[in-house]
Amino acid sequence: MKLLVTGGLGFIGSNFILKTLHENEGFDIVNVDAELAGSNIKNLSQVKNLENYEYVKGNITNRKLMEDLIKNCDVVVNFAAESFVDRSINDANPFLVSNIRGAYTILDIITKQKKRMIQISTDEVFGSLSNETATEESKFNPSSPYAATKAAAELLINSYFTTFNSDVVITRCTNNYGPRQFAEKLIPKTIILAHHDKKIPIYGNGKNVRDWIYVEDHCDAVLSTLNHGKSGESYNVSANNEIDNITVVRKILEIMNKPDDLIEFVEDRPGHDLRYSLDSTKISDQLGWKVKSSFEEGLEKTVQWYLDNPELLNNVSSAILDSTPWKNTN
């Protein structure tokens, strides 16, 4: 099977490519990436010379390029997205372009060429939840510009299935963590700052709850939907690890033998959702997908990976040091 993976130099996309090529036979992968924020060409250095891997630099909004690439593949797995919520608060336009226009470009082409599309979405489309857990039938209620663009892409994809019977499947995942994550995200940022004994900013009171999943478990779920997912369906992907941000940071500090006084509470960002929660019963029951890594195991592996990669560990950029990046107007 020949896959076109978009955004494959990013965090989840690169882990998906590595895991798919290393653990499965019969896959050829073409990776198209625009090399924007979050992309790192070094993420895939270990597979760059494989015969069944090819890299193309390009943007998913480039229709001619995408028509040519999709023509020669069986399935498109769309990881490409602007995904940093703080940046969407500062400037939503790149999110509209990539997350809606880009998804539309792929969707329209796979419909005309009769190919299959796996859309990678997010639990953030459901917005902040109180005590409930979102199922695939729950109502969208996005809070951030980022989440709104991902919800819009899902609605567009569903409309194409209804109108044109497009071969489309949506996966909707909780917060990923693991190797190769964009350094401005909570877990890698905490590891990097703690290593350098610098203050670790925590928004508000740190009680915002996220449902954490190790990235390789998410990749397994995507592969399951690619092989067995029913067209027109969406699948929630969750590891049932609901943990608040302050607890996550303290666990990292404990693993790294660093003091809690590195924690610094800062102004909360606008519209910061309090809690996300997904029910992944459907993908478990229908496709047989199961979580393999506990949060503790995954977190220890993640910390060790950063400690083993000093080039990333020493990346103390101004963006890493910025305690309120959503205020940045640069």
Provide the pLDDT for residue 330: 54
Which of 151, 87, 119 minimizes the C-alpha distance to 226? 119
Q: Cα Rg for the chain, rounded, in angstroms?
A: 19
Of 104, 146, 177, 203, catalytic: 146
Instruction: Please tell me the least confidently modeled range out of 73-77, 83-87, 246-250, 319-323.
Output: 319-323
pLDDT of 316 strictly over 80: no
Which one has a higher pLDDT value, 129 or 25? Answer: 129
Of 33, 82, 86, 123, catalytic: 123
Per domain, the residue ranges of the chain are 2-177+213-237, 186-209+242-271+294-321
Cα 208 to chain centroid, rounded: 19
The dotted CATH code for 186-209+242-271+294-321 is 3.90.25.10
Active site residue 124: yes
Provide the mean pLDDT of the chain: 95
Provide the pLDDT for residue 322: 86
pLDDT band at 329 (very low <50, low <70, confident <90, very high): low
Candidates 3.20.20.70, 3.90.1150.10, 3.40.50.720, 3.30.70.360; correct CATH number of 2-177+213-237?
Answer: 3.40.50.720
Provide the pLDDT for residue 314: 84
Active site residue 123: yes
d(Cα 78, Cα 72) in Å, to the nearest integer?
A: 16
Q: Apex CA 27: angle with CA 23 and CA 28, to 5°? A: 125
Buried-state track 320-330, b at ≥16 Cβ within 10 A, e below 16? beeeebbeeee
Convert the pLDDT of each residue in 138-174 to its tens digit: 999 999 999 999 999 999 999 999 999 999 999 999 9
Provide the pLDDT for residue 24: 87
Provide the pLDDT for residue 147: 97
Active site residue 197: no
Contact in structure between 49 and 55 (CB atoms under 8 Å): no
Convert the pLDDT of each residue in 64-111 to its tens digit: 999 999 999 999 999 999 998 989 999 999 999 999 999 999 999 999
Convert the pLDDT of each residue in 163-212 to its tens digit: 999 999 999 999 999 999 988 899 999 999 999 999 999 999 999 999 99
Of 82, 124, 184, 273, catalytic: 124
Convert the pLDDT of each residue in 268-313 to its tens digit: 999 999 999 999 999 999 999 999 999 999 999 999 999 999 888 8
pLDDT band at 324 (very low <50, low <70, confident <90, very high): confident
pLDDT band at 317 (very low <50, low <70, confident <90, very high): confident
> How many Cβ atoms are within 10 Å of 45's Cβ, its own excluded?
9
